[in-house]
């Protein structure tokens, strides 16, 4: 199980490529609603505090490919660990967060 807890990042370039060629992954943006509405790349906005309280209510399959994102990659890493501990098997954290993503797309 340790392999799921550590080293489960996806780079901004890898995510950009996956988004351009596939609809088979889910994005969860764990920033607060105001941050999400200021700038986002799609996905579902579930702030970290809400996610931690509502893990049992998520409608994702435990084997779905999920990428969690936030501004810098810190809150999303916490979210990734929460999802893995709840039994989700294919969860990645956007390394460097949306700041890294914006650098390669602007």
Kindly name the residue from 30, 70, 83, 91 that is annotated as catalytic: 70
As given in the structure block, the two tokens for residue 97 are: 């967060």
Question: Does 70 participate in catalysis according to the annotation?
Answer: yes
| CA distances for 106 relative to 13, 59, 69, 100, angstroms | 13, 33, 18, 10
Calculate ∠ Cα 96-100-102, nearest 5°. 145
- The catalytic residues are 70
């Amino acid at each position: 199980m340790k392999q799921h807890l550590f080293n489960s990042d996806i780079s901004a370039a890898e995510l950009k490529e996956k988004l351009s060629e596939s609809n088979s992954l889910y994005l969860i943006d764990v920033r607060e609603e105001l941050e999400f509405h200021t700038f986002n790349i799609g996905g579902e906005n579930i702030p970290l505090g809400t996610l931690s309280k509502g893990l049992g209510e998520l409608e994702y399959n435990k084997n779905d490919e999920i990428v969690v994102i936030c501004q810098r990659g810190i809150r999303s890493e916490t979210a990734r660990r929460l999802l893995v501990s709840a039994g989700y098997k294919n969860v990645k954290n956007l390394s460097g967060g949306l700041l890294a993503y914006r650098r390669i797309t602007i």
